[in-house]
Structure 1
Amino acid sequence: MEEGCLNATVLYDEIVAKGYTGGITLLRMFMKPLRPAIMEKATLRFETPPGYQAQMDWGRFYVQWDGEEKRIYAFVMVLGYSRTMYLEFTEDEKLDTLIGCHLRAFEYFGGRPEMILYDNMKTIITRVDERGHAVWNERFSRFADHHGFLLQRCQPYRARTKGKVESGIKYVRKNFWPRVRTFTGLDDLNRQAREWLNTVANVRIHGTTHEIPFERLKKENLKPINSTPFFEVDRHSRKVSLDGFVSFENNRYSVPYTLVGQTVEVVDLKNGRICIYHGHQLLAEHGKATGRHQVVVNKKHFEGLRTVGPHPVPQPMPKRVRQPAPEVMERDLSIYEHFLNEAVTLQ
């Protein structure tokens, strides 16, 4: 209710999922005296027209990974008009990671807004000039220009300036995160996040708009992004081993066996996925190994290996084994003397 949701039906569905066993009538009785106080605290929200604004921010989460506590990052973007949300977990908040998350968010939304609002994150704001204007990271500014959206910085110490995404991150913490029982890596966690977006977050009746985000998304009229890629992602050259694998960060990943001996490029998307290219051709995509000295295999990469060419692959010849020395029967010397006497008599 403090987040602006006064719809008893919506709240009922959420608390039932968390174990509530009572009825909706009891919930309404509980909410009734709280409504006036909540509404009194409410402030005038800044609403934007369809397709105009999105808000973006990072959330930080802590998990137990390989026996130690590790911090992961949640990229959250919310469209201002429809409240449609995009969520993706990453290894870090670096610039390349941020750019990749933007592109995947635009793909999920089906386009990009006119402008995106950010807080004062050091990744993209180099400094603030003497007039209080943000000096944007030159590379990120070129990325925005390339795809045609404007950059806007929220007012310092005014979190409510980007309240839509702040509420979105709180919603992720309270609604999605408690549902995560276990996950095998970022790739698995992002699959769970995508399912949650499609079946819960973006199909509920939103507490502020009182409409379903996916339904309002149809009215956003988002613009398409530039079809020409902004940059080639940093690639790590690797030579394919004789057994059809490439090594990356102390782990091995399979590629089609026909590439044995050739040089390929590994791209770490920093979201739990590894892509392997040969020129512009995508050869393989794997979930990123979470430990060290692990082998990640796609069995399809080795299909047809034993039947390649017009003739069956010859089997290796057996190794030659030295024959042991023949056994010699031992006889008494008198026998040989007997044979010698017989030979003299015959003569």
Structure 2
Amino acid sequence: MTDTTLTMSSEYHSNFQSVQAIAGEKLGRSVQKSLFDRIDWLRQLHELCLPDKSPLIVHSSEGEAEAWMFLMKTGLGRHAALANWYNFTFRPIFLADYDEVTKLALLAKLAKQLKSSSHRIEITPVPDEDSAASLTERAFEQAGWIVFRSKADDNHILNVNGRTFDQYWADRPGQLRSTVRRKAKKNLVSVRIEKEFSEEDWNDYVSVYERSWKPEEGNPDFLKKLAEHEAAAGCMRLGLAYIDGEPVAAQFWTVENGEALIHKLAHIEDATKSSPGTLLSVAMFQHVIDIDHVDLIDFGTGNDGYKREWMEEVRDRYRLEFYWPNNPLSWLPILRHYASGLAGKRASL
């Protein structure tokens, strides 16, 4: 009689080479739908944005089912998500769409493995429309961790729901539509949208960003590499607006698998009266809805007021904090969390 019992295993990795050797294309574009779940994204993020952080990459498997979690060391026995402000999401990565029982088992194994190297782990921004936050929370609790979940950010989105751009635009606030009509009549702003990467176009983007209200770019090299990489895959949409040949507004989007992600946008303050940023947004939305035929537009994290004019729904992004209760270094922060929770309950009475 053949034993068909599947054995479960887990292991650590400290570099991306060994991960690539094991995962192959399973962490690549052909399998992972989300940009933020791919090894190319994670590797570049580490190399260019977080080079001083030692990676801790945990892998578990049961038969052909596999899960990965990419963390980085932040202190003695402390780890966090291998992510930063460029991430729209962070979550455990599965190599297929497994059922909930399999996902829980894989994540619980990861959690058990992590107790030997860490007493505190924090991951954010975790989505839950796919149950990532809930499943991860349950799995770590099953493995014996104390888990605290809190809201970390807002994610504004637009579900196109089969509409044309004109149909979508008819539902925008009247003041926004009026502004676009008035500014478009003056014909001062010219707009173009590029799919192919060029140094000249990127320099125009950088020029706008440097002269805009935005703070200094966190890591220009990372963003440029991302644009080059996504353009090579046919996924980049770089929008540029000009007045008298001078770049005055710019937007960097990516489009893939029916979703458009708005990574960066900026305009020059001196050109605000001509509304180049708004006119460029109109062109970008029209392009991805009517030409790319996306189902969803994602404005990333952040609760900026202008996003409400363009988006129709808000999703929560969560912070999950895990503490291993058998480690004395966890006791004080656990008590503080409980005390904070009790204080919040008393205040609401």
TM-score range normalised by the length of the shorter chain: under 0.3
Structure with larger RCO (C-alpha < 8 A, sep 6+): 2
TM-score normalised by length of structure 2: 0.25
So what's the TM-score if we normalise by structure 1? 0.25
Which has the larger Rg? 1
Q: Which has the higher strand share?
A: 2
